[in-house]
A and B are shown apart, each in its own frame.
Chain A
Amino acid sequence: MGLTLALVVAASASSVSAAPNPKDLPEPPALANGEFASFDVLGGGSDKGAWAVGLQGGWPWFGARFQVGLAHNWTPIVDLDTALGRRWQPSVGIGKRILDHPRGRLSAELLLGWQIQTGDLAQRGPSGVFRLRLLGLVGRVNPWLMVGGRHTLLFDRTRTITADDTTTKWSARYRWSPHFAGGVVIGITKHVGIDIGIDWHFVDVQATAVSLPGIHLGVQFGGGR
Chain B
Amino acid sequence: MEWVNIIIQGVLIGGLYAMFAAGLALIFGVMRLVNIAHGDLIVLAAYIALMTTDTLGLNPLLAILIVVPIMAAIGYGLQRALLNRTLGDDVLPPLLVTFGLSVIIQNALLEVFTADSRRLRAGAIEVASFPLTEGVWIGVLPLLQFVVAVAVIGALQLLFYRTALGRAFRATSDDQSVAQLMGLDNRHIFGLAMALSLAVIAVAGVFIAVRTNFDPAIGPARLIFGFEAVIIGGLGSMWGTLAGGVILGVSQAIGAQINPGWQLLAGHLAFLIILAVRPEGLFPKVQG
- Same complex: no
